[in-house]
Amino acid sequence: MKRWSVFTLAIVFATSGQGIIIGGAIGFVASIAIASWIYQLGRRVNIGRAFKFLGIALIVFAAGLLVDAVQNMKNLNWLPVLSKPLWNSSSLLSQQSTFGDILHTFLGYADRPTALQVLVYVLYLGITVYFFVTLTKRARRSLKQGFNIHAESVRSARG
């Protein structure tokens, strides 16, 4: 976060006052357009599916953070087990490249992952996605049952 604010300040100081005003106006108009598009889209989107997708996306981001923590602990020699790299994909996509860094930040990509990193990633994703999906199904079922019981009690009270 600090890097972005430093770069933003550098851009602001390097441009003219007129450029800042024009950029701010363009940004404001773009944000209004995007907000209205999201509002229009939101009226047609199934909220349950959207939150399920968001939940799974957050689980994938958390898996990336966990694998990054494992890599950092491996680099500090705190986790000396399963530390040999399984493959080297740095010639295809280097972790030092811009896209590799983005994938590393959000998804935990490593161009030379160890067996421990892969094991932690797969286990974490498998276990948490399984429980997330099954618990949301169970919660939805119990919510429907609770609603049906409530509706039946209202009907019997009226009848």
- Tell me the helix, strand and coil percentages in the chain, rounded to 5: 75, 0, 20
DSSP code of residue 44 = T
Residues of the chain predicted below pLDDT 70: 1-16, 139, 141-159
Report helix, strand or coil for 114.
strand
Q: What is the pLDDT of residues 41-86, one digit of tens each?
A: 877 777 778 888 888 899 999 999 999 888 888 888 888 888 788 8
- Give the pLDDT confidence score for residue 43 in this predicted structure: 76
DSSP code of residue 113 = -
- Kindly state the tokens that stand for 99: 């896209």
- Kindly state the tokens that stand for 98: 């811009």
- Give the pLDDT confidence score for residue 103 in this predicted structure: 83
What does the domain layout of the chain look like in residue ranges? 1-44, 46-158
Can you give 57-111 as a three-state secondary structure string? HHHHHHHHHHHHHHHHHHHCCCCCCCCCECCCCCCCCCCCCHHHHHHHHHHCCCC
Q: How far apart are CA 69 and CA 104, in angstroms?
A: 12
